Amino acid sequence: MTDSAAPQLTLLLNRWQAGDRQALDVLLPAVYAELKRLARTQLQRDGSATIQPTELVAEAYLKLVDVDQVDFAGRAHFYSIAARTMRRILVERYRRREAAKRGSG
């Protein structure tokens, strides 16, 4: 997302916070490239990950939109929460994989 498009993203986030579900239809294409970049960064940190960036973005997006109260302070906050969500997904996958290895999953 370019700097000139940043205000548009903030407006979309505000519309979403106000309950405009159609804003999500515009939001995903607007943030997809940055979310994918964040996913690649998260996956580089976790050398044992068995997930592709596209799959991680999709899973994180589903978690982000499946909340009752959306409260993002702006685009930087949105991307921060998205990165944290991706990290949690990777941690959950790691824990399940380790539990399965021990036979308790």
Contact 54, 28 (CB under 8 A): no
Could you count the other beta carbons within 10 Å of the beta carbon of residue 1? Answer: 14
> Range of 71's domain?
3-102
More confident residue, 97 or 37: 37
Average pLDDT over residues 81-98: 91
CATH number at residue 16: 1.10.1740
Q: pLDDT band for 94, please (50, 70, 90 cuts).
A: confident
pLDDT computed for residue 77 by the predictor = 92
| Burial grade of 36 (CB within 10 A; 0-12, 13-18, 19 or more) | middle
Is pLDDT above 90 for 58?
yes
Average pLDDT of the chain to the nearest whole number: 87
Question: Is-above-0.85 flag for pTM?
Answer: no
| Contact by Cβ (8 Å): 1, 31 | yes
Tell me how many domains the chain contains: 1
